[in-house]
Amino acid sequence: MTTPSPASRLKRLIPRFRGCCIGVVGDLMLDRYVWGNASRLSPEAAVPVVDFVEQSECLGGAGNVAANLAALGARVSAFGVVGDDEAAKALRSCLISVGIDEKGVAADGRRVTTLKTRIIARHQQVVRVDRERREPLHANTEEKILRNLFTGLKKLDALVLSDYDKGLITDNFADRVLSAAHQRKVPVFVGLKTKKLYAYRGSRAVACNLKEASQLVGHSLNDEKSLQEAGRALLAHFGCSAVLITRGEMGMSVFEETSPRHLHIPATSFEVTYARVGQPGIERGSTGRQVFDVTGAGDTVLSVLALAVAAGATIPDAAVLANTAAGVVVGKLGTATLTPAELAHALGDVRT
């Protein structure tokens, strides 16, 4: 009897994604793209004049995690906060358009909806304008979000906590979420975008990139020894089952509480080209990867990791799937998702 290849084993997980119920709690954002052409400099300053062509919008931050999950077939519920403004309406519209349940999103007129506007001309980002608030939530708003989440936990197969340091996730908030999820036996997957060492004790996995891991442990990670020490230190601090550190062109490293050795997963062997937001831009190649846009790649890693484990994968297999998925989305300009077919196709190049 022939032993199935690693890629075949991983591909069999993908159909199981459909129907998994995943919750996403965190900092919801709207990514707005203003597309134009630039062929001259302004007489007022040494900056290009961009002639407007079109505008598009998509989900960012925790919203992008939710969008990635929905694109892969999961049933997704979002929990977070928006303001009472035009961007909030656009963000809710984006959630609904991709089939995400937005009833758990609270509105607070004292805040503004996090909005990142990128001006892009000739496939180059000219400037980004951010509109946001970072102070902690008002107590009433926090309680409303938590009530929504606690009600929704009973139907979830997994919960993703996506922290972009915009004021929603505090140590107390995270502790209450993890305690409630533990009682319901719902695994929690944490994505970090903060220097603060919250105690995400009991989480199934914590994911961060190399720069964030370095900031969390307080020193540079410039060799394998320092990386391994950091991974083990973060495992101990967070009290979680696994820590995943993404490393760009070096792939990712996975540290598990139950394993004395860490797993290194090389980056996938794609060369990629630019495309419109969310559109394919992949060309087969044999000389590694040219990364043009890593916007949202960490969100993709976090979403696929959580969804694969919810579908029955081990952490190592889920990490290989997540790494492969990230290799697809970096070939798409801007915040992007991928389909089950794209992920299955990309697995053809996986070596495990």
| Residues with a known catalytic role | 299
Q: Which two tokens stand for residue 163?
A: 């922290």
CA distance 325 to 310: 16
Residue 263 burial (10 A CB sphere; 0-12, 13-18, 19+): middle
Q: What DSSP string runs through 106-137?
A: EE-TTS--EEEEEEEETTEEEEEEEE---SPP
Q: Measure Cα distances from 308 to 111, 303, 321 in Å.
A: 35, 8, 8
Length of the chain (residues) = 352
Number of neighbours of residue 3 by Cβ within 10 angstroms? 7
CA distance 73 to 89: 24
Edge-first strand order for the sheet with 242-246 is 101-107, 75-82, 21-26, 158-163, 188-192, 205-209, 242-246, 252-256, 263-265
Q: Which two tokens stand for residue 275?
A: 């495309």
Side chain identity at 207, as an amino acid letter?
A
Q: Residue 168: which residues within 8 A CB-CB, separation 6 or more? A: 25, 26, 27, 80, 81, 137, 142, 145
